[in-house]
Amino acid sequence: MKTYLDCLPCFMNQALRAGRIATNNEKKIKKLLDEVGKLIEKIPLENTPPETGAIIYKKVSEITNNFDPYKKIKEKNIKHAMQLYPELKFVVKESNDSLLTAIRLAVAGNVIDLGIDKEFNIVEDIETILHQEFAVFDYELFKQELETAKEILYIGDNAGEAVFDKILIEKLGKPVTFAVREIPVINDITFKEAKQIGIDKVAKVISSGSIAPGTILDLCSNEFIEIFNNADMVISKGQGNYEGLSGVNRSIFFLLKAKCPVIANNLGVKENDIILKGI
Amino acid sequence: MKTYLDCLPCFMNQALRAGRIATNNEKKIKKLLDEVGKLIEKIPLENTPPETGAIIYKKVSEITNNFDPYKKIKEKNIKHAMQLYPELKFVVKESNDSLLTAIRLAVAGNVIDLGIDKEFNIVEDIETILHQEFAVFDYELFKQELETAKEILYIGDNAGEAVFDKILIEKLGKPVTFAVREIPVINDITFKEAKQIGIDKVAKVISSGSIAPGTILDLCSNEFIEIFNNADMVISKGQGNYEGLSGVNRSIFFLLKAKCPVIANNLGVKENDIILKGI
């Protein structure tokens, strides 16, 4: 996905938000915003947003000297999600279409990481998404690909939602490779959190090599690109991965909630719609 | 009021919004955002926000070659407000405390210019504000100053709200000088709209000399500064004027709705609160 004009002020907002999480030093945050301001001119609208995200979050770490600002938030999210895990496994088991329920929960996972200060809503959000209509729903295609797939690549997104991804991976019943970010970027999942959640018990965990809050093939490791090209099926979670991969020439299933108006517009859906889109 | 960190992304958002109103040319809007991005570094947090606003909206005009982008919006707002005028005059006349009702309507006017695409809400907003509690309410002080004042300076804000200001000016019953911006900036009132509304029939209309979306004394004309210093009472409408004048060492009554979290925080009130604050 290209960068839209609306993404430019959003980059500044993201920098401010991340800066405040990384430090209390107002001068450092001002310095960060100065740097991101100067960066705007260098962003061609043809770039995908996470390419710029990579630069911004690198600046956040360098200027604040905090290389994992979202550490505590990730821990809190994971802990909460893992408390819900047994009940959610039961919900999947008891449902009429357990694969679809697991997919819905994986989308619900994509939501909760936004609601950092609204943890009491997680359960409500799950409840909503369990009954929400998909705005794009390529489920038949998903089932067809899944049936014949021998190797599945599952590209993770936020740390907390990976607990929900684990439920879907267990339900897929096929060998899965789960890709994480190379280093901490926003609250995205890295190898450390994947192990903590136990993703390594249900899938082979690899780094995509990406330092961006999304998957941009040009910036990924050769190992990841080979797996990406050879996988029978690719499942991509969340906005950042969609932004990086939506223009790629291979079949991919995108599983996400459209959390910003730009993404919603790009997908031809409304904000807060949920998506299972095959390309 | 100083510039807060939150103002910096907001400047980018304002530039995007104004750019889109001024032109359909995406390249020009990108250029505008590039320029505003580079400007961030040069903004000391000690500056008041409208000082930066002046630079940004000048860039909007120069880059898009549109020197009154909000012309049609202002016309629409004024037309609608003038349709309401006779009924609002009646409301003031019939109320128990007609001065306070006129003050409330002047605050309501500060709201409607925000709701450009929500014209059906103007009447609702007026209805709300007619019954809303003031979060800061220096009404006794206001009445005291008014009683002895011989010359009042009333500093206008948006074009549409000046119709409501006219009602308050008529109610004040004292000689009033009404200050407008020197040139069009956002949808703020200039001499042209003041005449169209008939403010010149109830007050002496002068330009403050300001090209900023607010009143910064250092950037105002000598004529205005003299009137400002010598007036027995100063009434300042809206956020931009508050941002520019809140640190000035003379008595001023600020009449506004706190429309952004930064202003609300600065005033120690909640967003959407209404304010009659004397300093």
For residue B139, the domain's CATH number is 3.40.50.10880
Contact call for A37 and B37, based on CB within 8 A:
yes
Helix pair B98-112, B162-172: axis angle to 10 deg:
160
In sequence order, what are the residues at sequence separation of 6 or more whose Cβ sits closer than 8 angstroms to the Cβ of residue B233?
B145, B146, B149, B151, B152, B153, B251, B253
Q: Measure CB to CB from residue B30 to each of A5, A9, A34 and give the nearest one.
A: A5
Contact call for A34 and B41, based on CB within 8 A:
yes
Both A112 and A241 in one domain: the answer is: yes
Flag whether residue B116 sits within 8 Å of chain A, measured between CB atoms. Answer: no
Contact call for A38 and B39, based on CB within 8 A:
no
Count CB pairs under 8 A between chains A and B. 68
Give the Cβ contact number of residue A225 at 10 Å: 14
Both A80 and A56 in one domain: the answer is: no
From chain A residues 44-73, the ones with a CB under 8 A of any chain B CB are 45
Task: Tell whether A130 is covered by a domain.
Answer: yes
Q: Considering only residues B123 and B179, tell me which one the structure prediction assigns the higher pLDDT.
A: B179
Flag whether residue B260 sits within 8 Å of chain A, measured between CB atoms. Answer: no
Both B141 and B265 in one domain: the answer is: yes
Mutate to test the interface with A, among B6, B10, B11, B12 (most CBs of A within 10 A): B12
Q: What pLDDT score was predicted for residue A206?
A: 98
Q: How far is A9 from chain B (nearest CA, A)?
A: 5
* B135's tokens: 């979060």
Q: Is the pLDDT of residue B188 over 50?
A: yes
Residue span of the structural domain in which A21 resides: 7-64
Q: What pLDDT score was predicted for residue A123?
A: 78
Residues of B in contact with A26 (CB under 8 A): 5, 45
Task: Tell whether A2 is covered by a domain.
Answer: no
Flag whether residue A38 sits within 8 Å of chain B, measured between CB atoms. Answer: yes
Flag whether residue B16 sits within 8 Å of chain A, measured between CB atoms. Answer: yes
Residue listed under structure tokens 């499942």: A235
Both A218 and A239 in one domain: the answer is: yes
Both B145 and B248 in one domain: the answer is: yes
Q: What pLDDT score was predicted for residue B112?
A: 66
Flag whether residue A206 sits within 8 Å of chain B, measured between CB atoms. Answer: no
Task: Tell whether B13 is covered by a domain.
Answer: yes
Task: Tell whether A94 is covered by a domain.
Answer: yes
Residue B60 to residue A164: CA distance in whole angstroms: 46
Both B104 and B33 in one domain: the answer is: no
Q: What pLDDT score was predicted for residue B135?
A: 97
Residue that terminates a domain, selected from A44, A64, A84: A64
Closest CA to A170 of A197, A140, A208: A197
Q: What pLDDT score was predicted for residue B110?
A: 87
Amino acid in the structure at residue B69: P
Q: What pLDDT score was predicted for residue B115?
A: 41
* A63's tokens: 């200027």
Both A156 and A255 in one domain: the answer is: yes
Q: Report CA torsion sign: A264, A269, A275, A277.
A: negative
Both B177 and B125 in one domain: the answer is: yes
Confidence of residue B118 (pLDDT cuts 50, 70, 90): very low
Partner residues linked to A255 by β-bridges: A237, A276
Q: How far is A153 from chain B (nearest CA, A)?
A: 37
Report the residue of chain A nearest B30, measured CA to CA. A5
Flag whether residue B40 sits within 8 Å of chain A, measured between CB atoms. Answer: yes
ipTM score here?
Answer: 0.90
Both B34 and B166 in one domain: the answer is: no
Task: Tell whether A97 is covered by a domain.
Answer: yes
The domain total for chain B is 2
Q: With contact defined as beta carbons under 8 Å apart, do B116 and B133 qualify?
A: no
Residue that terminates a domain, selected from B49, B64, B79: B64
Residue A263 to residue A270: CA distance in whole angstroms: 9
Q: With contact defined as beta carbons under 8 Å apart, do A100 and A139 qualify?
A: yes
Q: With contact defined as beta carbons under 8 Å apart, do B214 and B179 qualify?
A: no
Low-confidence ranges of chain A (pLDDT < 70): 112-120
Residues of B in contact with A5 (CB under 8 A): 16, 20, 26, 29-30, 33
Both A120 and A161 in one domain: the answer is: yes
Task: Tell whether B266 is covered by a domain.
Answer: yes
Contact call for B33 and A8, based on CB within 8 A:
yes
Both B33 and B147 in one domain: the answer is: no
Confidence of residue B113 (pLDDT cuts 50, 70, 90): low
**Across chain B, how many H-helices and E-strands are there?**
12, 7
Task: Tell whether B1 is covered by a domain.
Answer: no
Closest CA to A238 of A195, A180, A176: A180
Q: What pLDDT score was predicted for residue B111?
A: 80
Task: Tell whether B188 is covered by a domain.
Answer: yes
Both A27 and A141 in one domain: the answer is: no
Contact call for B9 and A5, based on CB within 8 A:
no
Q: Is the pLDDT of residue B153 over 50?
A: yes
Q: What angle do CA B202, B204, B208 make, to 5 degrees?
A: 130
Residue B102 to residue A208: CA distance in whole angstroms: 64
Strands of the sheet containing B204-207, edge to edge, are: B134-137, B274-278, B253-257, B233-237, B152-155, B176-180, B204-207
Summarize pLDDT for A76-120 with one digit per residue, the tens: 999 999 999 999 999 999 999 999 999 999 999 888 655 444 444
